[in-house]
Structure 1
């Protein structure tokens, strides 16, 4: 029987967007139906497979996007969001395959679900791009998200601290304003997609916070100071407001984690 790590590695090794979506959904379904062993025999690749397009650029070389008013700027914004969700599929399955052996079985339950939901988010945004006359890969995208995976590949607590508790938590902060932007120009379809994504991402941050706290407790570490130390060491950006304090708190990411030195 295939084990969890082999299923996760298969997702990471799949480059074509729609094939990756299918692989992610299939892995989550097989796990839910009890057809995968809770085993970790396979090593995760240093870098996940990527399609030929989009062209990946350093964040500082990305073209500037306007606000959501014009059709071109709306497409650029949706494309950027689709890319985030595409990379998030791999981040979820790398989390599972790389670190799952260090945690109870429920860790696999959570990250299989996260990976399947990220795949669904990407599919919704890609379908929206096509409805607007574009597609994923039509524009360049930045490569900063996978850098966070590379930076934290050695340490499950560092990965949990940076990916769900910083990068995904940032989505909780900025997505409400993005939804309002699309609503303001009458794009209710995209606004509904982003509203769905926002609800799911809150649950993803909650999973990250839950397992970070579990890992700290298991190692006899104090969570808040440990998180702050790991973020200072491994996150290349700056934590800055505005913060969606209510959504973060519902996800277990309370203000004592992130308000120190963030003004």
Structure 2
């Protein structure tokens, strides 16, 4: 019988710094700025792979359908990482040309129950990524690098499914446990906020609604953002 052990921090072969120590990004009109952006997205995708595998290891008795869908998500994240690295190569950059952080991984804990894990990874982290991708695509509208734009579009489209996966399973597990999902979301978000990365960008209400967030959940996210900005 094989026993998998989750590391405290995932191993990396390049420089790792705290998120607040990451270098300032150049503008997207520059080749360096485009490279930094792809490198940052690659780091996010790598952590998404790690987090998906972590959930599969730490919750072996989760619903088989949940686990199967999560495996599919991990495979998609793997493809996202691949196309980001290929995009870097096209710009004559390599993985490790900039430092990375592990703040997404650090927001999870071995003490998480499955609802917390889904909220953190798929509803907060990936949801925030969805907001950021929509903004990034608008900023890229004047950039001539069509390959970069196609990479971001592909990832953004797939992330919608990943966030919806989180919404569906959060609500389903709440229903199975006879819990009010809006109240659970509000309580858990408040309980977990001290270890979540502060996402100060605007909440994309349209995308959040499209991916299964209720009005109450969106209001809670907007309030959290407002609290952090004040």
Number of aligned pairs? 221
Which structure would you say has the larger RCO, counting Cα contacts within 8 Å and 6 or more residues apart? Answer: 2
Taking structure 1 as reference, are residues 69 and 241 closer, same or farther at Cα in structure 2, changes over 3 Å only?
A: closer
Kindly indicate whether the alpha-carbon contact (under 8 Å) linking 2:208 and 2:218 is maintained by their aligned counterparts in 1: no
Matches within 5 A, 1:1-263: 42-47=3-8, 49-53=10-14, 55-101=15-61, 103-150=62-109, 153-235=111-193, 236-238=196-198, 240-260=200-220, 261-262=223-224, 263=226
> What is the root-mean-square deviation of aligned Cα atoms in Å?
1.9
Bigger mean CA deviation after superposition, 163-172 or 222-231: 222-231
Are 2:40 and 2:100, in contact at CA under 8 Å, matched by a contact in 1? yes
Q: 1:131 and 1:153, CA in 2 relative to 1: closer, same or farther beyond 3 A?
A: farther
Contact 1:205 1:251 in 2 (8 A): yes
Which runs of 4 or more aligned residues in structure 1 lie more than 6 Å from their structure 2 counterparts after TM superposition? none
Q: Which runs of 5+ in 2 are unaligned?
A: none
Give, in whole Å, the separation in 2 of the partners of 1:249 and 1:221.
21
Supply the distance in 1 between the matched residues of 2:148 and 2:199 (Cα, whole angstroms): 27
Q: Distance in 1 between matches of 2:76 and 2:9?
A: 18
Do the aligned partners of residues 239 and 222 (structure 1) sit closer, same or farther apart at CA in structure 2, a change above 3 Å counting? Answer: farther
Comparing 57-66 with 42-51, which one deviates more in the overlay? 42-51
Q: Which residue does the alignment assign to 1:37?
A: none
Return the TM-score normalized by structure 2: 0.88
